Structure 1
Amino acid sequence: MDRPALNEEERGARQQLSNLLRLVLSNHCSYLEAAPWVVHLRSRVGGVGDFDDDFRVFVGINSETDHLPTQATRHLWAAHALKALEPEMARLEARAAALARVSCEALLARFDETGA
């Protein structure tokens, strides 16, 4: 069955997702920072099932790291608490990169409409 043409919201979400994935792949955004945004955009890009393997990788990363501070919330944390979390964050970022790089590339190939 053919899918209807994309609406403006879906087109915009695909552009946001593509931009985010390019930032991740170019090491300008971490996988830990990107995961909640990828999960958020999943329902907005259109045509994605609940059990899409490429998105599920990011759902897992987000679930595993949702207790950690983001760049936007670090100012709310005590310096010693951030310092104590650095090893865990580095370990989880390395693990996320190993798990999600292929999914990141696949999602970019699927949803990038710019051809960039």
Structure 2
Amino acid sequence: MAVPYLHAAGVQEISVTPSIWKVVFSLIFVIAFIPVCLWLMKRFQLAQMKLGQSDINIVNVQSLGAKEKLMLIEVEGERLLIGVTSHSISHLKSFPAKASSFASMMEEVGRENSSDNKNNGDVV
């Protein structure tokens, strides 16, 4: 009776080994499959972005704090400076599309504000 038991135990050891390899190869396949899926998703997102061009373009973003920022956006050829917080979006200024850089626009706003303060008699 001992012989069939040993024979059965040997058969089990042999059949376990291929199943372990199946698990290992399956795990390797899944681990390799995740980056491939991420790459495909990224590629399709870029294709969708190119096909679905929006009329609103974000030209530049300047962070002012944890949840506050200035955004320069372009809508139908006009550039808008907006202030964005966690609770609101405020239109600050409109610019023609010919303006070249965010820094030059900010300097222009600063000049206008300082001239307004001088005209009002305020000391800066």
Q: TM-score of the superposition, structure 2-length normalised?
A: 0.22
The structure that is helix-richer by fraction is 1
Q: TM-score of the superposition, structure 1-length normalised?
A: 0.23
The structure that is strand-richer by fraction is 2
- Say which one has the larger Rg: 2
